[in-house]
Structures are given as C-alpha cells and as structure tokens.
C-alpha cells in the first residue's frame, strides 16, 4: 500500500473570484486487480497496454486505487508532479523478490491482458480471490510462478540423456571400485 500526502494549497478561484484553500490530505492507495477492474469497467478498454492514458483516465485510476474513505474528488486536482511520480513508481515496482532468469524478451503475447483474463488465470490456478487485493505486479508474478511450476518437466534430447547416464555410471564405478 502506498501513502501519499497532497499538500495544502491556497489559490485563486477564477469563477468565484476568491482565494480557495485546501487542507493537507493523506491518501492510501493500492494498485490491485480490484482497482484495475473498476477502471476497465468505466473506460471499457484494457488498462495494461502501452497506450498512453489521458489525464482524466490517469486521475480515474488513482481514484480507483484509493482506499481512504470520504475523499473529496477535488483533492485529486491538487496532486503534485511529485505525487504522480511516486504513484507511477509504485505502480511499476515489482513488489516481490522473485525474478525470472530465463525470461525471453523476444516472446511477446498478442493476447490483451484484461481484468477478466487475470481473474480467469486465478480461477484456473486455484489462486484465492483475496489475492485480488495484492499489488498487481505481485499477483502477476504469482500467476507466472504457478504456470511455470505446473508445466511438465522439460524433455531432454538423447545427447543430454546419454551424457547424464555416462556421468552417473562413472560416479558409480568410482564408488564401487569396478570397471563396468
């Protein structure tokens, strides 16, 4: 969970012709499958794409990430560039110590990842629904780990099998002091 503080601001309101001041506000945010599905429900498009989001779409996602109760929607208009940078860093953080050493960067899927697809993966892999509130990157890493662990063992070619068997036979001959 990320906590950000939106500083108090005093500014001129053109419409009312008066100074308006806001109080400092602390928000608790979570980048999760829940916030992703709310955003996709409103905008009817996939969030996890390389397409750039409009400022309205970005603000909506931040609103859907917010756990803090009874937040005046005007508060989001006073987010600083530092707040936005902090939120983006949080969204991009891996939130796990797991890494994949054999990751193939050239292999990209054309399948568009949406909230429903992630829910399907959770159901197919028997991942409990309470994980929908986890940081999204952590949940996606868990899904990837489950997929890897559920794959059948990699088949070896004849050369690898013969090499392994020769090494085992040599070890056994040495242990038993025999020639064959």
| pLDDT for residue 10 | 85
- Backbone dihedral angles phi then psi of residue 42, each to the nearest 5 degrees: -75, -45
| pLDDT for residue 106 | 43
Answer yes or no: are the C-beta atoms of 10 and 19 closer than 8 Å.
yes
Give tens-digit pLDDT for 19-58: 888 889 999 999 999 999 999 999 999 999 999 999 999 9
Domain extents in the chain:
1-96+109-180
| pLDDT for residue 73 | 87
Full pLDDT tens readout for the chain, 180 residues: 999 999 888 888 788 888 888 889 999 999 999 999 999 999 999 999 999 999 999 999 999 999 999 998 888 988 999 999 999 999 999 998 988 876 654 455 678 999 999 999 999 999 999 999 999 999 999 999 999 999 888 888 888 889 989 999 999 988 888 886
| pLDDT for residue 117 | 95
The neighbouring-strand residues paired with 18 are: 13
Per the rule left: phi > 0, alpha: psi between -120 and 50, beta: everything else, 99 is: beta
| pLDDT for residue 103 | 60
Q: How far is CA 38 from the centre of its chain?
A: 15
| pLDDT for residue 160 | 85
| pLDDT for residue 104 | 58
């Amino acid at each position: 969970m990320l906590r950000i503080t939106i500083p108090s601001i005093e500014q001129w309101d053109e419409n009312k012709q008066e100074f308006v001041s806001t109080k400092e506000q602390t928000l608790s945010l979570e980048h999760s499958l829940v916030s992703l599905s709310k955003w996709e429900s409103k905008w009817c498009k996939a969030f996890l794409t390389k397409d750039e989001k409009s400022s309205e779409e970005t603000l909506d996602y931040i609103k859907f990430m917010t756990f803090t109760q009874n937040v005046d929607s005007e508060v989001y208009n006073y987010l600083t560039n530092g707040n936005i940078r902090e939120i983006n860093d949080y969204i991009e953080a891996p939130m796990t110590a797991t890494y994949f050493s054999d990751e193939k960067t050239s292999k990209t899927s054309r399948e568009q990842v949406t909230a429903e697809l992630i829910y399907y993966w959770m159901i197919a892999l028997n991942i409990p629904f309470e994980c929908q509130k986890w940081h999204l990157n952590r949940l996606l890493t868990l899904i990837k780990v489950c997929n890897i662990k559920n794959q059948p063992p990699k088949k070896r070619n004849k050369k690898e099998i013969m090499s392994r068997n020769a090494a085992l036979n040599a070890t056994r001959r040495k242990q038993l002091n025999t020639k064959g």
